[in-house]
């Protein structure tokens, strides 16, 4: 993907690698250790541990009620855990304020495509840059280059956008915070397969060419595994299996038991 003039890579470029015994390995950017979260008497997460490596897509999969959304909300500080730790680049951020998470390089795109309906597309994007201070026009142009459909509607109120366009807008808004890791919650929800493929393809492109790291929560396991590097399957708040995405997609018994395809 060609970079426009003045563009800066998300996440600061490709991740560093460590070489041990002649083998190149990726770096753990986000670590979740024994994370448990409860809503009153209901335990939504029960000792979840996972690693999201730098410059890769880690997909968290499972049926409704598996704990996927709670996991992202706990990682990003919107929900407080009852136990466990979250580390970003080795630094514990478990109970850091949401604003601090953003400054440390984490951006969370919740499910539901939450735009500010009365504001224009351009004004919605400016909201995403608030924690960054002054953001140059070239950075907005960068988002518009990535999402030509919302570029065409930059002066339109957000409530006039289609579902797919709103999803593009909220992802673009998150990118203006220049994240190192992007938490994406159910980006395919309610969208046509063609739009899902377009959005997932762009996310894959950002990871491959610009070093962005992504923790992707998805119920559409087939689409998620087609772009992910690693898959983590949750069931009733617990990790069932973690494996290479292609291996999970090829495991017919596991797919039928937990992934619905």
Which tokens sit at 216? 């992707």
- Give the span between the Cα atoms of 212 and 45, in whole angstroms: 26
Tell me: pLDDT of 92 over 60: yes
Indicate the pLDDT class of residue 112, thresholds 50, 70 and 90. Answer: confident
Tokens 């410059």 locate to: 55
Mean pLDDT of 111-136: 82
DSSP string, the chain: -PPPTT---GGGSSPP-EEETTEEEPPEEEEEEEEEEEETTEEEEEEEEEEEETTSEEEEE--TTSSHHHHHHHHTTSS--SEEEEEETTEE-TT--HHHHHHTTEEEE-TT----TTSBHHHHHHHHTGGGSS--HHHHHHHHHH-HHHHTTTTSBGGGS-HHHHHHHHHHHHHTT--SEEEEE-TTTT--HHHHHHHHHHHHHHHHHH--EEEEEES-HHHHHHH-SEEEEEETTEEEEEEEHHHHHH-HHHIIIII--
- The pLDDT of residue 131: 66
When pLDDT is averaged across residues 61-85 and rounded to a whole number, the result is 96
Mean pLDDT of 182-188: 95
Q: What's the chain's Rg over C-alpha atoms?
A: 18
Q: Which contacts of 88-93 are long-range, i.e. CB under 8 A and separated by 24 or more positions? A: 88/29, 88/30, 88/181, 89/29, 90/31
Strands 106-109, 181-185: pairing is parallel
If one compares 80 and 3, the residue with the highest pLDDT of the two is 80
Q: What is the mean pLDDT of the chain?
A: 88
Distance CA 249, CA 261 (A): 9
What is the torsion angle, in degrees rounded to the nearest 10, for the CA atoms of residue 48, residue 49, residue 55 and residue 58?
-40
**Position 163 pLDDT exceeds 60:** yes
State if pTM tops 0.85. yes
pLDDT per residue over 224-252, tens digit each?
A: 999 999 999 999 999 999 999 999 999 99
pLDDT of residue 2: 35
For residues 106 and 31, the answer to whether their CB atoms sit within 8 Å is no
Report how far residue 226's alpha carbon sits from residue 207's, in angstroms, rounded to the nearest whole number: 14
Indicate if the pLDDT at residue 18 is higher than 50: no
Whole-number Cα distances in Å, 221 to 73, 190, 196, 198, 238: 20, 14, 12, 16, 17
Return the higher-pLDDT residue of 203 and 18: 203
* pLDDT score for 23: 43
Check whether 212 has a pLDDT greater than 90: yes
- For range 143-171, the mean pLDDT: 94
Across 217-222, average pLDDT: 94
**What domains can you pick out in the chain, each with its CATH number?**
55-77+96-259 (3.40.50.300)
| β-strand pairing of 181-185 with 18-20 | unpaired
């Amino acid at each position: 993907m060609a970079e426009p003039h003045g563009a800066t890579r998300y996440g600061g470029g490709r991740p560093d690698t460590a070489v041990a015994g002649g083998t190149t390995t990726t770096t753990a950017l986000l670590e979740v250790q024994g994370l448990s979260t409860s809503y009153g008497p209901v335990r939504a997460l029960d000792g979840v541990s996972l690693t999201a490596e730098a410059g890769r897509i880690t997909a968290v999969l499972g049926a409704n009620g598996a704990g996927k959304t709670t996991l992202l909300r706990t990682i990003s500080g919107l929900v407080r855990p009852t136990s466990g730790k979250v580390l970003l680049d080795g630094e514990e951020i478990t109970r850091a304020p949401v604003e601090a998470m953003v400054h440390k390089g984490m951006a969370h795109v919740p499910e539901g495509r939450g735009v500010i309906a009365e504001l224009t597309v351009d004004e919605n994007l400016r909201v995403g840059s608030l924690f960054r201070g002054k953001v140059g026009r070239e950075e907005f142009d960068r988002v518009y280059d990535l999402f030509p459909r919302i570029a065409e509607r930059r002066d339109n109120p957000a409530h006039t956008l289609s579902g797919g366009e709103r999803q593009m807008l909220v992802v673009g808004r998150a990118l203006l915070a220049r994240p190192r890791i992007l938490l994406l919650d159910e980006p395919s929800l309610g969208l046509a397969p063609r739009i899902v493929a377009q959005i997932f393809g762009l996310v894959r492109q950002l990871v491959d060419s610009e070093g962005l790291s992504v923790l992707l929560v998805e119920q559409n396991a087939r689409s998620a595994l087609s772009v992910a590097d690693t898959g983590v399957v949750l069931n009733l708040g617990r990790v069932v299996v973690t494996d290479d995405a292609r291996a999970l997609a090829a495991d017919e018994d596991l797919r039928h038991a937990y992934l619905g395809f």
